[in-house]
Structure 1
Amino acid sequence: MKIIQVTPENVQKETLYCVKDITSPAFDSKRKWFEKRYAEGVRMKILKDDEDNMLGFIEYVPVEQAWRPIEGHNLMFIHCIMVHSKKDREKGNGSILINEVERESLEAKMDGICAMVSKGAWMADKTVFEKNGFIPVDHKGRFDLLFKKLNPSAKNPELLDWTVTQKEYQGWHLLYADQCPWHQKSVTDLLNTAMDFDIDLKIHEIKTAQEAKNAPSGYGTFGLLHDGKLVSDHYISATRFRNILKKAMVK
């Protein structure tokens, strides 16, 4: 096996794992986001086998620049980890990727590594992290914050309270960032659906890590809100949104 570091120079060749078609709008939006954030410390690595097949990937960043509602200092934060095939997960490939982040974090003299997990959509669950020495240090909603200390005196990171600003979003609002390549499609799908229902869906692009930390959603980079309440914290389909609108109109 080999681990490839994706950079602005080789991203067209290596792709972004979850978006392999370099001609797709999803790839283009994520690529532009990645190239801008690379200077802020965002890193992505792809695990390949000896035949150059992609097995999994991991994206990580210093916690101060994390695009999630998290606070910490001198820690590495794992944005995303994915090993697509179950048989590859059972071979410990997720651990290989996490160990690579740990190696880099030690080299950079960081005090620890943290990650948000959930049993729900769009997040890894806690199993692979617990196998690698991570422990829960905070919990809000459906999310857990896991932490592995590399320095025994390290201070635990904390989840920020993403509910405090939700009441500011009256009407229908969709907040998103291109940190996930599938958000662009969701924005288009939901906007078109809102137009079908004659709904004024206000779109807000999250453009900085600080905006994501202060976003009204645990996921940080996506939030659908209605009259001060969070409807979804992750990508949903046009069909799902249509059903949500139908129920809202009945009420």
Structure 2
Amino acid sequence: MQIVNVTPQNAQEETFFCIKDIKRQGFEDKLKWFEKQYKEGLNLRILKDGNDKMIGFIEFIPAPKAWRPIDANNFMFIHCMYVYSKKDRSKGYGSMLINEAEKEAKKNKMAGLCVMTSKGSWLTNKTIFEKYGFAEVDKRGRFELLSKKWDQDALNPKLIDWTTQQKKYKGWHLLYADQCPWNEKSVFNLLNTAMDYDIDLKVTKINTAEEAKNGPSGFGVFSLLRDGKLLEDHYISATRFRNILKKELKK
């Protein structure tokens, strides 16, 4: 097994794991985002086997620069972690990836690690982190905030209340950031679908970590709202949006 450290210099060769087609607009947008965040301490590591096949990846960043609604001074925050094949999820590969974040955090004399988790296919379940010594320190809705700290004097990380931001969005709004490369495709599909229904969907791009931290959803980098109500907090398909529209327009 080998772990590759993705950098702006080798990103086109190694890809970002979750998006491998370097010709896609989502890859180009993620690359521009990655280049800026790399200077802020962002790390992306890809786990490969002996045949150079990608097994999984992890993306982590100092928590003050994280693109999630968290308050965690001097912690390393894990944005995303994924082991692709189910048959590989009981072989300790997740622990290998988490260990990369822990080594980097300790090298930078941080107090610990933290991560947001949730049930579902698009964000990691908390089970793997609990096995690695993480404990839940905060929860809001279906999102959990877990932490593993070695400096016991450090304050526990906490979630920022994203619901307080929702009421200011009147009408239909879509907010997104390039942290997730699949957002771009979703935004394109949702805009086209909104036009089919003669809906004025206002799209706002999230350009800073601070904007993401103070956004209206738990995921931080994707929010679909109508009149102060959060409808979705992660990228969705055109079909899913049509179903939402049919339901909302009946009201």
TM range (shorter): over 0.9
Give the match's secondary structure for 1:137. strand
Give the match's secondary structure for 1:136. strand
Compute the TM-score of the two structures, normalised by the length of structure 2.
0.99
Alignment-mate amino acid for residue 205 of structure 2: E
Deviation at 1:243, TM superposition (A): 1.2
State whether residues 121 and 234 of structure 1, in contact with CA within 8 Å, keep that contact through their aligned partners in structure 2.
Answer: no
State whether residues 177 and 183 of structure 1, in contact with CA within 8 Å, keep that contact through their aligned partners in structure 2.
Answer: yes
Alignment-mate amino acid for residue 181 of structure 2: P
Paired residue for 2:52? 52
Q: Does 1:87 align with 2:87?
A: yes
Paired residue for 1:15? 15
Paired residue for 1:41? 41
Paired residue for 1:199? 199
Say how many residue pairs are matched.
251
Q: Does 1:244 align with 2:247?
A: no
Give the match's secondary structure for 1:248. helix
Q: Structure 2: how far apart are the matches of 1:203 and 1:92? A: 41
State whether residues 120 and 142 of structure 1, in contact with CA within 8 Å, keep that contact through their aligned partners in structure 2.
Answer: no
Could you list the runs of 4 or more consecutive aligned residues of structure 1 that deviate by over 4 angstroms after TM superposition?
none
Paired residue for 1:24? 24
Question: Residues 149-168 of structure 1 correspond to what in structure 2 (within 5 A)?
Answer: 149-168=149-168
Q: Structure 2: how far apart are the matches of 1:49 and 1:104? A: 22
Deviation at 1:121, TM superposition (A): 4.5
Q: Structure 1: how far apart are the matches of 2:229 and 2:40? A: 32
Alignment-mate amino acid for residue 82 of structure 1: Y
Paired residue for 1:111? 111
Give the match's secondary structure for 1:4. strand
Task: State the percentage of identical aligned residues.
Answer: 63
Alignment-mate amino acid for residue 238 of structure 1: A
Paired residue for 1:99? 99
Deviations 1:43-95 (A, max 9, x none): 10000111111000000000000000000111000000000101111111011
Compute the TM-score of the two structures, normalised by the length of structure 1.
0.99
Deviation at 1:120, TM superposition (A): 3.0
Alignment-mate amino acid for residue 26 of structure 1: G
Paired residue for 2:175? 175
Give the match's secondary structure for 1:165. helix
Paired residue for 1:219? 219
State whether residues 22 and 28 of structure 1, in contact with CA within 8 Å, keep that contact through their aligned partners in structure 2.
Answer: yes
Give the match's secondary structure for 1:13. helix
Give the match's secondary structure for 2:35. helix
Give the match's secondary structure for 1:163. helix
Deviation at 1:192, TM superposition (A): 0.3
State whether residues 2 and 47 of structure 1, in contact with CA within 8 Å, keep that contact through their aligned partners in structure 2.
Answer: yes
Deviation at 1:235, TM superposition (A): 0.8
Give the match's secondary structure for 1:211. helix
Q: Structure 2: how far apart are the matches of 1:146 and 1:34? A: 25
Q: Structure 2: how far apart are the matches of 1:191 and 1:235? A: 13
Cα-Cα RMSD: 0.7
Q: Structure 2: how far apart are the matches of 1:97 and 1:61? A: 14
Deviations 1:183-239 (A, max 9, x none): 000000000000000000000000000000000000000000001000000111101
